[in-house]
Amino acid sequence: MNDTGDDARRDRHVGATPFRDPAFAAALSYEPARALYGVWSAAWRGDALPEKRAVTPPYSPVRVIANLFMHEAHGERFLCRLTGSRVDEIFGSNGAGKYLDEMLTGEALQSRADFMHRCLQEQTALIYAGRLFPPNRQHVQSLRLLLPVQEASTGMRLIVGVAWFPDGSQQYDRFGKDTNAATLVAIEQVSQA
């Protein structure tokens, strides 16, 4: 099946199922991230976090796979389990199998770990903006969607996310001038009815 057919099959329920937070969905300027947020929104069952398998291949939209990443919570640390080919290309390496604290330090590490913990603790989606300075490369601006999921059979809690990279013509004040710290862009607001 071609990519168009795969996307149509995987996305067919997204339009029919409302987003958990339509205003949050509107803040997702990158359409593949919005599509994955729709799949994740549809995967909720009561108060239980969506299952990892509901938002990863083959259920994630094809167009998001190159920008997908996954981190597994290990106490206070996060182990990178997956990075898509576009993420690897931009950062110049594959982070799979490494802990976040092996790839980042200082405020870059602290701010991103704080957002991941918040995402899991509050069981909510969030978007953050950040700048990184990969070795021997120019700085990279990115926006990231974080989605909390679980693997119920093992009790493992994970972050499935999408990274996208605004081109140089886009200016984002939220990236900061001289910092590697990430900044919160939007957090999902879901009424607890």
DSSP string, 13-62: TTTTS--S-HHHHHH--SHHHHHHHHHHHHT-BTTBPPBGGGTSTTSS-G
> What is the C-alpha to C-alpha distance for residues 35 and 17, in angstroms, rounded to an integer?
11
Q: Which of 160, 100, 75, 152 is nearest to 125 (CA)?
A: 160
Q: What is the pLDDT of residue 174?
A: 47
Helices then strands, counting H and E runs in the chain, come out as 6, 6
- Spell out the domains of the chain, with CATH numbers in brackets: 3-187 (3.30.450.20)
Output the pLDDT for position 5: 46
Please report the pLDDT score of residue 2 as a whole number: 40
pTM of the model: 0.84
In DSSP terms, which residues pair with 44 in a beta bridge?
none
Output the pLDDT for position 71.
98
pLDDT at residue 134, rounded to an integer: 65
pLDDT of residue 172: 46
- Residues in the chain with pLDDT < 50? 1-16, 169-178, 193
What pLDDT, in 10s, does the model give residues 41-72?
A: 999 998 899 999 999 988 899 999 999 999 99
Q: Which two tokens stand for residue 44?
A: 């909720």
